[in-house]
Structure 1
Amino acid sequence: MPSSVIKYFSYDKTTSTLKIIFITGMVYLYKKVPEKVYKLLKASGSKGRYFNAYIRDKFKFQKLGEE
């Protein structure tokens, strides 16, 4: 299901890093994210709601700038 907040996201198992590109074009890397969190984000009906509840402010992140 498309999101009104998240444009794209991907997960790197080897580094447990979740990359999220927001609709605004901003790119963030969230670190030490369990694979289960990524899979639940992928399965979520509302990506933005899931992100706000289970990822935002829960994991350290690196802001990469704009896409």
Structure 2
Amino acid sequence: MIRSFDYRPDARELDILFTTGRRYVYRDVPPEAAAGLRSAFAKGRHFNAHIRDRYSYIEVEPTPT
């Protein structure tokens, strides 16, 4: 479900790239929420239970190649 993710603690943004190719930036994510995702064995399950629908987000359009 999740291809990759990056957390920017200074901005409290969690940038997630899904296997579908869609990318979202979740805002105002506390460091402990990002750490929980990082340490979770099942990233998709953790995302659905602890991040999805809890933080505001924007979809990032793919950059043209």
TM-score bracket for this pair, using the shorter chain length: over 0.9
Which of structure 1's runs of 4+ aligned residues deviate more than 4 A?
none
TM-score normalised over the length of structure 1: 0.90
Q: Tell me the number of residue pairs that the alignment of Structure 1 and Structure 2 aligns.
A: 63
**Is residue 36 from structure 1 mapped to residue 35 from structure 2 by the alignment?**
no
TM-score normalised over the length of structure 2: 0.92
Q: Please, what is the CA RMSD of the aligned residues?
A: 1.0
Counterpart for residue 49 of structure 1: 45
Structure 1: 5+ residue stretches without partners:
none
Larger radius of gyration: 2
Structure 2 counterpart of 1:24, one-letter code = T
Pick from 7, 14, 38: which aligns with 1:11? Answer: 7
Instruction: Give percent identity, aligned residues only.
Output: 35
